[in-house]
Every structure is written in C-alpha cells, then in structure tokens.
Amino acid sequence: MKVKKYVAANMPEVMKIIRAELGNDAVILNSKIVQTGGFLGFFKKKNIEVIAAIDPKPNQTSTTRDQVNRPLAQTITHKPIEKDKEPTEYPEVKINHSKNTDELLSEITELKSLMKNLASQQVKTAILPEPIQKIELHLQNQEMSSILIEKLVGKLLEKWFLEGANSSEKELIGWASEEISKEIMHLHYAGISFDKKYVNVVGPTGVGKTTTLAKMAAECVLKYKKKVAFITTDTYRIAAIDQLKTYAKILNVPIEVCYNIQDFHEATKKFQDYDVVLIDTAGRNFRNQQYVEDLKKIIDFQKDMESFLVLALTSKQKDMEDIFKQFSTVKIDRLIFTKVDETSVYGSMLNLIINCQLGVAYLTNGQDVPDDLITATPEAIANTILGVEMK
C-alpha cells in the first residue's frame, strides 16, 4: 500500500492533490489540524494534515465503472489509524495557493459533498475553518435544527472561500445573521399593524400574556398616541383582572370584563370610538382542547381582529409545537416570544417559526412596562440566536 502525508491550508486543496496523485480509490486514514512555520513560537499558521493511502494493485473485480467515475468526495472513506501504528515518514506535498473563482466553487461543492458523507461529526468539524467551527458549535448549543445548521455552514463556507479567509469573527457573525434572516424574511413581522381594531392575545398559563398586553397598550398610547381600551375574558383568576385594572388605571384607559359572548358584544359597542381594543384571555392547560372551544364562546373571532399566540422561550420546543396545534382552529396572525431574559437557548424560536411558517410580532425580555418589549424583525431574531446584543 502506498501511504503519503499531505499538508495544505484547507481540505479542498488536500482533496485536489490527493485526487491528482492517488486517484479516486484513495483512502483517507487520518486528518487533523496542525501548526506550521513561525519564528520563536510566533506567527504559526494552521493547516490541514491528511494521511492518505492507495493500494497499487486494487481488486479489479470489485471496482465498477461507476465507482471509477464517481467524484473523490463520494468514494473515499475515513478510517482513523491506530495511534501506536501511525506511519513515521511521509513526503510532504506543497500546494499552489493561487486559484480562480471556478476552481474555488468546484472545491467548495466537493467539500460540502464530503461533509455530507462523513459519518463522524468530529471529522466534519475538524475540516471546517476554525471561525466557522465556533459558529457551528454555538448553533448546536442553541439547539437549532441540524438541517438549518448544515445549510448555514455551507453558506458560510462559500463566503469564506470566495470573500477571503482573513475575515474577522465579527464579519462571520454578520454573514450568519444575514443567512438566518433570509430563511425567515418572507414571513410577516412587526408589532400591532393598526389595520385591525381588535388585538387578541392567546396562549397557555404562565407565559406572561397580561404583562405583554400592558406593554403593547403602553406602546400604543405613548408612542403612537392611539385611543386604547382593554377587554379581559380572564375571569378564572381574580388576580389577573386586578393586574390588568392596575395597568388600565396607570395608562388611563377603560376596561371591560366579559364572561360570555353577550358581554363581549356589549363591550365592543362601548369601545366603538376607540382606535385599538386589546383583549386579554385566560391561561389554561393548553393540552385541554376545550379551552380553545371556550374562547370561541366568549370572543367573536369574526370581528375585525388580529390574534397573537404568546409562547415562553423557557418552554420545550415540543410543548410549543403542541400549543400551536391546539390553537390552530383560531386564526393566529403572528407569534410573541416572552422570557427572552430567562433562558440562554433560542434555537427553538427559529425552528418554530420555520415549522409553523408564522412571523413574530414581539420579543419580551423582562417584566418592566413599557420598556421590555422589542418589536420583532428577522435580524433581531437572528442576532438573539447568535448572541448579538439587542438594542
């Protein structure tokens, strides 16, 4: 067996030279990142070291025409060699680093193909440039969908090779933010549109619906100078009614408590001259479908209304998906994610947006009214996931 060691700046360059010298039947025995050059311990460069092998007399009966014609990235296999049997002498191959755009694109495509066929996540990560490795690890820790991560890493690799490998970490995070934003920008964002007079918030207990509604009311009154009124159907908790009455008093807006659909219609008549009517609902066990049916008996969803589903980011993604399904019989216009400040993992937010194909109205990051309310945008969501401070 012919065994050689190759050292180059990145995996695509190694792949190209291995194909040229050893052909499509090459087997990669080991790959790792090494540091070369430098002076007195300084200015060292990171390179990829790959040990590849080829049998000079392969078994012709087991090699088909398709296997011969297949690209190297689809035929080579990774077989880690045993540490105590690593070859000691391999001629080092020098690589020509000058490339045109077509060559780079070809190598990027080949590298992506290789990564898809690698079984080991450790090997996949090792062949990525270190700054992209960091972003990939961060997104994994954020519990972002593996499909989305793979797609994003592919996009970052293209930019890395085409726009310069000396890009800063800040630039890479900017690229990642742009790509995440592109995935979801076709959906509807921003807060209250004022296209509809009635704004309804629904969701399970404990997600912060009443506080969020108060923040939205304060925004309408203080920022947009709108004439606002409250309706609450949360008659299950006296504390909830008292809480909303307190906010109503502070903001100097009227409030009506509704126990049935007749009360609701009476309240809408009283508030016919108001710009916006904000409706609070009871938080109940979301697994009980009867809760949603009860809402329909109190609120006239046929009104000129937009509805927001409030979800807490401290919840499990599966629970949030189940909540969305329970409320699917009510037309949900956008999502609101609360408790941004109570967790450090935000990937489920992006996963849910894509799975449900719903945009976001607001993010809330605290209990202060009216301050802790952020109008949602694709960029704000991407930056939250990437750990970029929101303003």
Q: How many domains does the chain have?
A: 2
* Residue 93 pLDDT level (bands cut at 50, 70, 90): very low
Instruction: Check: CB of residue 330 under 8 Å from CB of residue 295.
Output: yes
Domain termination residue (choose one: 95, 126, 149): 95
Helix, strand, coil abundance in the chain, percent, nearest 5: 45, 20, 35
Residue 391 lies in a domain: no
Residue 177 lies in a domain: no
Max mean pLDDT range (10-24, 176-190, 233-247): 176-190
Cis (ω within 30 of 0) for the bond into 204?
A: no
Range of the domain at 289: 198-386
pLDDT (0 to 100) of residue 62? 40
pLDDT at 75 over 70: no
Q: How far apart are the first and last CA of the chain?
A: 60
Residues 216 and 353 in one domain: yes
pLDDT (0 to 100) of residue 141? 94
Choose among 281, 278, 289: nearest CA to 329. Answer: 289
Q: Which residues fall within 8 angstroms of residue 388, CB to CB, at 6 or more apart?
A: 173, 177
pLDDT at 196 over 80: yes
pLDDT digits (tens, 9 = 90+) for 334-343: 999 999 999 9
C-alpha separations of 265 from 19, 230, 293, 370 in Å:
76, 14, 18, 29
Instruction: Check: CB of residue 108 under 8 Å from CB of residue 115.
Output: no
pLDDT (0 to 100) of residue 66? 41
Q: Where are the beta strands (DSSP E) in 237-358?
A: 255-257, 276-280, 305-312, 334-338
Residue 162 lies in a domain: no
Max mean pLDDT range (67-81, 88-102, 323-337): 323-337
Residue 328 lies in a domain: yes
Q: 119 versus 2: which is more confidently predicted?
A: 2
d(CA 336, CA 320): 12
Instruction: Check: CB of residue 206 under 8 Å from CB of residue 285.
Output: no
* Residue 53 pLDDT level (bands cut at 50, 70, 90): confident
Residues 216 and 71 in one domain: no
Mean per-residue pLDDT, 103-111: 60
Residues 212 and 359 in one domain: yes
Residues 84 and 204 in one domain: no
pLDDT at 39 over 60: no
pLDDT at 121 over 60: no
What is the share, in percent, of the chain residues with pLDDT greater than 70? 74
pLDDT at 40 over 50: no
Residue 286 lies in a domain: yes
C-alpha separations of 187 from 138, 334, 356, 361 in Å:
25, 9, 11, 11
Residue 230 lies in a domain: yes
Max mean pLDDT range (37-41, 125-129, 238-242, 288-292): 238-242
Q: Which of 18-27, 87-96, 287-296, 349-358 has the lowest mean pLDDT?
A: 87-96
Residues 206 and 68 in one domain: no
Q: Which amino acid is at 380?
A: A
Residue 104 lies in a domain: no
Mean per-residue pLDDT, 3-20: 81
* Residue 249 pLDDT level (bands cut at 50, 70, 90): very high
Q: Which of 58-62, 70-74, 169-173 has the lowest mean pLDDT?
A: 70-74
Residue 112 lies in a domain: no
Max mean pLDDT range (142-151, 227-236, 285-294): 142-151
Mean per-residue pLDDT, 91-97: 40
pLDDT (0 to 100) of residue 275? 95
Domain termination residue (choose one: 63, 95, 127): 95
Mean pLDDT of the chain, nearest integer: 78
Residues 247 and 367 in one domain: yes
pLDDT at 119 over 70: no
pLDDT at 92 over 80: no
Domain termination residue (choose one: 74, 95, 116): 95
Residues 87 and 223 in one domain: no
Residues 206 and 338 in one domain: yes
pLDDT at 155 over 70: yes
pLDDT at 115 over 60: no
Tokens for 341, please give them: 């400040």
CATH assignment of the domain containing 217: 3.40.50.300
